[in-house]
Amino acid sequence: MIRHHISDKLLMAYSAGSLPEAFNLVVATHISLCDECRARLAGFDTVGGAVLDQHVAPATMSPDALTATLDKIRQGPAQAAGHSTPRNTAPRDAVLPAPLREYVGGGLDQVQWRNIGGGVRQAILPTSRDASARLLHIPAGTAVPDHGHRGLELTLVLHGAFVDETDRFARGDIEIADQDMEHTPVAEAGADCICLAATDAPLKFRALLPRLAQPFFRI
């Protein structure tokens, strides 16, 4: 059961298309797992559509616009050179939901992990530069160094669970951390914790070694 959800503020920004790509990825992945947030998003989408209907003038279209659109639909999705199938046909995976498989290019076995110390591994995902997204693999019982935040951090659990000073977070749960939060996440014993995290500013580490490593690991 998912206990920690996306805030209304973030859902409205996602609906309006005003979030950075990295945050969009976290929200879309959470929504794919969470019926409650998916229903709330539908409500925001409905309100947004009504506002557009009332305040945006209809666009003028060419007489053959409908025919051209139907022709494109009949032709099917465009394929990039060198790819025999569209990206959205990535195989199913027990850990990575569909929106995330799009970025990885497959399941968990396709992730290009990089060790960042203490047994923790990460894989930075390709997104726009206004925020970064990464997968984190934290061995069971391992703590992430104590840190604060210079901006916003969204952390979505995909496998296992972690605990910190605020609560416990398991699959589908999302933790929203801002500049007022300082914490030490610890992966629960019994299973490695795999998370999707997005940040729009570097973290603030207390210890010297993590601070020295930040430029190399882009955290």
pLDDT in tens, 64-117: 888 888 888 888 765 433 333 334 445 668 899 999 998 898 899 999 999 988
Q: Is residue 81 part of a domain?
A: no
Q: Which of 31, 1, 104 is nearest to 10 (CA)?
A: 31
pTM, whole model, 2 decimals?
Answer: 0.78
Residue 195 belongs to some domain of the structure: yes
Domain count within the chain: 1
Residue 186 lies in a domain: yes
Report whether 142 contacts 120 (CB < 8 A): yes
Residues 6+ apart with CB under 8 A from 107: 90, 91, 92, 93, 94, 95, 96, 101
Quote the tokens at residue 137. Answer: 């693999």
Between CA 159 and CA 163, with CA 160 as vertex, the angle to 5 degrees is: 125
Does residue 165 fall inside a structural domain? yes
Is the pLDDT score of 157 beyond 90?
yes
* Residue partners of 50: CB distance under 8 A and separation at least 6: none
On whether residue 67 sits in a domain, the answer given is no
Structural domain boundaries, residue 26: 1-55+94-219
Do the domain assignments include residue 73?
no
Pairing mode of beta strands 186-187, 161-163: antiparallel
Residue 154 lies in a domain: yes
| Per-residue model confidence as pLDDT tens digits over 18-58 | 999 999 999 999 999 999 999 999 998 887 555 555 555 66
Q: Give the mean pLDDT of the chain.
A: 85
**CATH at residue 19:** 2.60.120.10
| 196: pLDDT strictly greater than 90 | yes
Check whether 169 has a pLDDT greater than 50: yes
